[in-house]
Structures are given as C-alpha cells and as structure tokens.
Amino acid sequence: MVSRPVNNPANVSSLRRMASICFLLLGAGFAIGAPQQEPELAPEVLAAQQKRVEAMRKASMATVGVFGMDSQGGGSGVCISPDGYVLTNFHVSSPFGHRMRCGMNDGKMYEAVVAGIDPTGDLAVLKMYGRDDFPTATIGDSDRVRVGQWCFAAGNPFVLATNLQPTVTYGLISGVRRYQYPSGTILEYSDCIQTDASINPGNSGGPLFNADGELIGINGRCSFEKRGRVNVGVGYAISIKQAMNFYGNLRSGRIVDHATLGFTVATDTQGRVVVSNILESSDAYRRGLRYGDEVLRLGDRDISTSNQLKNVLGIFPDYWRVELRYRNEQGVQEAAIRLQSLHQPGELEKIVEGSSEQGPKRSGEAKPTASKDSLAEKYESRRGFGNYYFNRSELDRIVKLQESRKPTLPTSGPDDSLQVRFVGSVIGESTAVEARFDPEKIHWTLADKNSSVTVKGSSGKGGWGPWIQNQDPLPISIAMRLWYQWHEQGPRKLGEVIYIGQSPVLGKQGLLDMTRVVLGEVTAEVYTSISSGDIELIELFTDRQTDPAEVYFDYDAASPMAPMPSRVRLNYGLESRLVVEWLKLDTLPVEKTEDVPGGQP
C-alpha cells in the first residue's frame, strides 16, 4: 500500500510562500538582464545645457593664446575688434617685449605687436595681423555682475592648448568690487571680480564671461603666492568696465597712467568718509571741496568707506572728469572734477623699465631682427610710449576722418595775406563779436573793446598765458584760429601733436577722441567726435594748477555757417562765461601796422 502525504494546512501555506519567492526572483532575473532605459531629462535642462554649450563655443572663438616669437611660454587674451585688437595683462605681454604671436580657436597662429600698456592696472593691448575679420567677444556690463551668478573663464592654462583650442572652466561669481594691493605702484587690481572658476598660470590675460557669453572681465591675479601655484578657487578679473575705460588710451600706443584725486579721505568717529587732506592746486579744491567735507559719491558709485573711494578711483584714467558729490556746511554739493596723474612725468617709464629688467624672462623674449621681422615697421620706440607707431596710426585716423568733412575755407595756407574773420553776436544780446586772425596776429573784439596777441606769442613775454589765467574771453579767438588751422593745414602742422586717447566731455554723449597740441607755454587739448571728426571742445592750458579756457563748439545743419560751428561757449571751471553765435565768415586785407599786442588783461 502506498502511503499518501497528509494534507496539512501549515505545509500548504509554506509551499505557497516558496512559490511566490521563486516567481519574484525569476522576474527580477529577467529585469536585471533586460537593457535599462536612460531617464529622460526635462526639456528645460537640455535647453539650458545647449545654451551653455553655444555660449562657450562662441566665446572660445574670440579667446587668444599669447606666445613668444618661438611659440614658447604662454598667456591668454581676448580679441575685441575685427581688425585684431586684443586685451590682455601687462604682466603677460611685458616679458615678450614688443613682439609676440597669438593663437586662435581656428588653429592658426597670428603675428602680433604690443600697442599700449597700463602697468598700474595690469592691462595691455596687442594688435594681431593677418585678417580683418577676427572673431570678437561681446562686451558685457560688469556693473550688473552679482555674487552667485554663473560665469566661465577661457584661456591657455599650463600651455595646454597645443592645438590652440582654449580651456574653459565653469564657476560662480564669488565676490565683486574686490581690491588687490599693488606691487609698489603697479599691478593694482581695483574694483575687480572674484570667481571660483579655475584660473591657473597661463589663464592670465584671458576672458571671463557671464553665463550668456558676454565679456565681463580680464583674468589676472590668483592666490598663488601664498598657496602655491595651483588653483584654490580664488581668482580675480579686472572688470571690463575698467578695461574699456582705458582701451581708447591704450590704442594710443602710450604708457597710460591712472588717476589721483588731489585729496585723501579718512573715516571719522561717526563713520563718515571725510576729506583729511587736500592740495590747493587740485581741481577738487577749485570746485569747492575743503578739509572736513564728507564725500558721498564718485562717478556712479555711492561712497560709504575710505577703501571704497580708492577702489572706485582705480577704474578711471588720468585727466578724465568725473562727478563728485560731497556735503559741506551749506549742504550737498555736486561738481565735475578733473583727475590728476598718479605718477610724476617720467616716473612710470622708469618703473616699467625697472620691472622689465627684474621681471621673469621667457624663451620667447628674444626680438627678431628687422630684416627678418615682417612687422618691423609696426613698432617705433619712443620714451613714454609702449609703441609710438600706434600713436601715429590713431592720428592718421583722425586726420582722414576730418578730411572727409573738410569745410570750404576762404584761405589756403599760413602764408596767405588775408585776415580771416568770424563775425557774430552774444547770445541773447545785440553785442557784436569778432574773432580775427592773420599770419602775425590774433584779434578779439567784444562790443567796443579790442584785444590782440601775436601768433608767436604762445610763449614768452606778451604770450597767451595771462589771458587764460585771468579768464578773459580772448581765448575764443585763439580757439577759433586753432579750429581753422586744424581743418586748413591738418593737426600735424600746428605744433607738437600727441594723440592721448578717448575721454568723456561734459554735456556730450559717449567718449571723444582727445589730441594734445603743445603751443609753447600753452597746451591745447582738442576733443573730436569719434564718428564725424567734428571738433567738440578745445581746452587751453597754461598749467595743471589753474582752470583752462574751455571753448565748446555746437553745429547746426540749418545754420548759414554749416558745416562750420554755428556757436561757441566759453567756460572757465564749470561756469559759462560767454556764448557767441557766429553769423558769417569772411576775409579782410591784413593791415600792416607796427603796434605791439595791446589790451593786456
């Protein structure tokens, strides 16, 4: 007899559990063996990634690797104009001398020369040759940069870009408006941007972009000295605002200088930023600032600490005029003050020469001989200049611009025997005005008062200086003669001419070209429109300790004087002294007289 298992409920339950476990394990085995699908990314994530990739691709096209003439060594830069102007650091360009090579994302190496240098702010401008359609960076607004925003740096760290493709590193804005102390009086980083995007040796001079691929800074210092030459997430970039403030001056080929206010400040017991010392020769003093006054604002920045004032000052070139707001016993005052040079004449050149001799040497520093150098003609050595060739080049641009709009003038040269006469009247009055000049004399008539100076009286006894220092209206005639000769003969025939760069002018939009003309004891600074070449302002200086005569020019296409100026305004300091409307231009025979200049002020 065959025995049969007992139908025990406990055994049945156990068998069922075992069967369930086997089924689950079998199913799991099938699941493990089956191919897994990648999780789908949200469309907005993919869109953000693609935007970042495209921004980096475009930005990389304008990134430049800077090398010595033997293609060794290396730093970085960024191209900002289709004709090949590059922003970089002074400490990147200086070891290479005036000649270097620049590599771009297209895999090609381009010959380059230094244009202008800013040792104080650690900036330099190079000029590449070989194309007239170089890819350029889009200039951003560094004033809008905030802590926590994404950014990325591009460049050539550790000379990794052997194929000239830049390295791109991503990070955050860690700080804004930082200050890094200078080495003596050079390599000062003011109002700079701090980032944790990796910036290593070789990144110097390269671009810092915001998340949209807009240029917001020029990478420079990192915290290497104290922490070894490796990135520790603390890098600094010169703001693009500062770089573009200096860019026009750097294209002049000069060794450009930074500014000083002519006064110092301290924090008082109430936490106010007050004037602690002031030079009576400073423009700030002439505008009314005094010891103990509270400084409230400089430029477009409110001032709440002494360090903040120094930080803001560093973004401006010398000779610029900036708005100053301060509080004295009479209340809140506002004035535009003219900045002074940080260094004494010749001092900066000596510092640069010393830093070049003591600075690091690179294998690419050797300069090619003129017979082998294809860009030998693009460099001219002259004291006070990084490359004087570019000063001549910028002056050529201004001459070409004004020649295209040259008005028809009644005389043809300095030997003409005619006297040129501008006839007009004082605005709002019937008072007659004449500005006349001939090859020997400059005359001024206001109502029944006549004054004159000799053309050669710009220096020595009976010169133009006393008329300017005594704030007389006769300098209007001097300025009109200068305007006339500028168009008749060209700037180079007027005296010793130097193109300074670009500068703001009160009441005018944007920046203007500024050219300095030395006329004996008087220096004229001529401001012309970048687009039209029209003379907008002529300033006549006897020195930097007194106010110049400022003659502003207005143009009216509907005026019978067009395209010549229809009116002029004479200012001393910030005060308008006289506004004249010109009605006609004609000529008179020169009166041969033996009288000496009369009407001394």
Task: List, in order, residues 6 or more apart from 555 with CB less than 8 Å away.
Answer: 534, 562, 563, 564, 565, 566
395-421 burial code (b ≥16 CB/10 A, e <16): beebbebbeeeeeeeebeeeebeebbb
Query: By the 8 A CB rule, do 254 and 391 touch?
Result: yes
Query: b/e map of 552-591 (b: 16 or more CB within 10 Å)?
Result: bbebeeebebebbbbbbbbbbbbeeebbbbbeebebeeee
| Segment holding 222, helix H or strand E | strand 214-222
Q: Which of 192, 200, 187 is nearest to 238 (CA)?
A: 192
Could you say which of 174, 204, 239, 566 is catalytic? 204
* Closest CA relative to residue 378, chosen from 178, 129, 205, 56: 129
How many residues would you count in the chain? 601
DSSP string spanning 76-96? Answer: EEEE-STT-EEEE-HHHHGGG
Integer CA distances (angstroms), 102 to 20, 381, 385, 452, 496, in order: 72, 22, 22, 56, 34
What sign does the dihedral 573-576-578-584 (CA atoms) show? positive
- Cα–Cα nearest to 222, from 241, 250, 202: 202
Copy the structure tokens of residue 324: 């100053």
C-alpha to C-alpha distance for 517 and 399, rounded to whole angstroms: 14
**371 tagged catalytic:** no
Containing 323, the helix (H) or strand (E) segment is: strand 321-328
Q: Cα separation of 297 and 506, whole Å? A: 17
- C-beta separation of 311 from 190 below 8 A: yes
Catalytic residue among 76, 91, 293, 452: 91
Residue type, 377: E
What single-letter amino acid sits at 332?
A: V
Answer yes or no: 204 catalytic: yes
User: Residue 268 and residue 334: Cα distance in Å, rounded?
Assistant: 21
Cα distance between residue 86 and residue 81, in whole Å: 8
Tell me what percent of the chain is helix, strand and coil, each rounded to the nearest 5: 25, 35, 40
Q: Which of 249, 313, 240 is nearest to 116 (CA)?
A: 249
CB 246 within 8 A of CB 118: yes
Would strands 263-267 and 294-298 be described as parallel, antiparallel, or unpaired? unpaired
* Position 59, amino acid: A
Contact call for residues 294 and 327 (beta carbons, < 8 A): yes
Whether 113 contacts 378, CB under 8 Å: yes
Q: Is residue 258 annotated as a catalytic residue, yes or no?
A: no
Q: Which two tokens stand for residue 481?
A: 């003669």
Q: What are the residue numbers of the active site? A: 91, 122, 204
